[in-house]
Amino acid sequence: MKRFKLTIAYDGAAYYGWQVQPRQVTVQQRVEESVQQLFPEVKRVHSSSRTDTGVHALGMVAHVDLPMDERPMDGPQLRRALNAFLPADIRVMKAVRAKADFHARFDAKGKQYHYRIWNGPAMNPLFNGRAWHVPVALDVPRMQAAAKLFVGNKDFKSFATTREYEMETTVRRVTKCEVRRRGPELGVLIAGEGFLYKMCRGIVGTLEQVGQGKLTQKDVRQIFRDRDRRVAGMNAPACGLTLVKVLY
């Protein structure tokens, strides 16, 4: 068996997230089906992380072990073969041989996400399904100042959706949180060593409330202290979020 590292991009609009789910169509399911067209005995493709329903990716990383003695091919050949069986909204962008002990999830050092907001009275139709339409005016300098409060090693319990199981810790280290504007398009860049369930969307939803003047920097500091999801902003819609890169 030879291990390959796959870098995968996808439009998540049609899928129930990355991870295989009963009675739902997911990105992982489609990728595994494409692998099984070439290697029927291979059952699992292991990813670096999960993405929620409707979330997109430019650089999801996964690994898979393949019996190359049966069908020898290099990385570019594997990429082309897998893409031939994948739907158009999922693409293997790169396939390379990896060390036998490489693990897409456990070797990951961090992730980078980008969230897009269209802040204009009318939605740009080219961004439908790719951005959150916020028609009311947003104070971007206030959002930029508040974004700095999310950087560091902090307890993000107030910004993450509760799982059905208890987390060992809700402390995470965010290395970057920036708001950038280009005309009516806003981009929120969030990078960190790891993220809680829907944490990025909770951060963006809170920053949007800051932009509307409904929350202040003082409020955000108190939200951290409260450790209560009910006091922070809403989860921003999934359509605006993209996993850009996994760092190793």
Point out the residues that are catalytic: 52
Distance CA 156, CA 195 (A): 9
Residue 237: how many CA atoms within 13 Å on its side-chain side?
14
- The phi-psi region of residue 135 (left if phi > 0; otherwise alpha if psi is between -120 and 50; otherwise beta) is alpha
Enter the DSSP assignment of 200.
H
Q: Are 96 and 90 in contact, with CB atoms under 8 Å apart?
A: no
| Closest residue by Cα to residue 225 from 175, 158, 173, 179 | 158
Tokens representing residue 193 in the block = 């060593």
